[in-house]
Amino acid sequence: MVCILWILSAHDFAIERFSDYNLNVIEHVSKVLDYYNKEKIVRIIMMLFESLMKDKECMDHLSMINALNIVTKLSNRVWVDKNIEATLDRLWKEFDSNYQEFSTFDKWKKQVSANNFSWSTVHTEKFWQSQFVNFHQSENLELIKTEISFLKANDHKNDNASCVKKAVICFDLGEFARYFPNGRNYLGGEGAKEVIAMIMGNKNVTPELKKEAITAYQKILMTSWGQ
């Protein structure tokens, strides 16, 4: 199946399907690597990534799934097939050179506005360390409200996909509390602590979500987190 997708990626008519966030083809393909790491599978997936780089929307999607991190981890392994090493090297250089573009605040805004929450470079400590200053603008604070509203509206959804989205949001809210000067007070006024506490007490959520919720709650309460 991955081989078929790689062949399709060479055709313009198929690219719009790869860039469709509702289909999430790129993310689903990347998840294959969580279960299978044989050289022939890694090789074809990396070839697919390289093929998709020619399209800007697909490149954005690759950034959203943190493809740079995937490539970095794979680069630390020893490969019998040297072609894999060469492909990983090309991918790493391309992703690394575009890291700043991948990490822009607009990328975060785009993801939040679309309720398309997934682990990527805009949901990392490095991103929040530099981008928290943008929340001095009131329109950007509205997006924090959007994240809190998503948690409240989906508190009853505990399927894996929903839990991943909520885990990402919990991470964001924790980092917002940690780096934005008035972040803790703002979250308190919007009821973020209460909804995160509900997640913490929910026995049906995934371990990942529970971990992110507990960490976010601690960040909101503690003024000296990470210092």
Of 33, 27, 22, the closest CA to residue 119 belongs to 27
Torsion angle defined by CA atoms of residues 9, 15, 17 and 18, in that order, rounded to the nearest 10 degrees: 60
Residue 75, domain member (yes or no): yes
Quick check: 38 pLDDT over 60?
A: yes
Report the C-alpha gap between 132 and 136 in whole angstroms.
8
> Within this chain, do residues 6 and 77 fall inside the same structural domain, yes or no?
yes
> Within this chain, do residues 9 and 96 fall inside the same structural domain, yes or no?
yes
Report the C-alpha gap between 219 and 227 in whole angstroms.
11
Query: Which letter, b or e, does each residue of 83-106 get, where b requires 16 or more Cβ atoms within 10 Å of its Cβ?
Result: ebeebbeebbebbeebeeebbebe
Residue 117, domain member (yes or no): no
Q: Which residue has the tokens 């966030």?
A: 21
> Within this chain, do residues 95 and 133 fall inside the same structural domain, yes or no?
no
Domain of residue 13, residue span: 2-102
The stretch 13-29 carries a mean pLDDT of 88
Who contacts 19 (Cβ-Cβ below 8 Å, separation ≥6)? 55, 57, 58, 60, 61
> Within this chain, do residues 130 and 90 fall inside the same structural domain, yes or no?
no
Find the length of the chain: 227
Report the C-alpha gap between 192 and 151 in whole angstroms.
9
Residue 139, domain member (yes or no): yes
Number of domains comprising the chain = 2
pLDDT tens track for 72-130: 889 989 999 999 999 999 999 888 777 666 667 888 998 899 888 888 778 889 889 99
Residue 145, domain member (yes or no): yes
Do the Cβ atoms of 171 and 212 come closer than 8 Å? yes
pTM for this structure?
Answer: 0.67
Report the C-alpha gap between 77 and 60 in whole angstroms.
26
Tokens of 113: 């506005």
E strand segments, the chain: none
Residue 154, domain member (yes or no): yes
Report the C-alpha gap between 109 and 44 in whole angstroms.
32
> Within this chain, do residues 216 and 133 fall inside the same structural domain, yes or no?
yes
pLDDT band at 225 (very low <50, low <70, confident <90, very high): low
**What does the longest C-alpha to C-alpha distance in the chain come to?**
56
> Within this chain, do residues 146 and 209 fall inside the same structural domain, yes or no?
yes
Do the Cβ atoms of 208 and 163 come closer than 8 Å? yes
pLDDT tens track for 147-203: 999 999 988 888 888 999 999 999 999 999 999 999 999 999 999 999 999 999 999
Residue 182, domain member (yes or no): yes
Do the Cβ atoms of 216 and 170 come closer than 8 Å? yes
- Look at residue 150 in the predicted model and tell me its pLDDT: 95
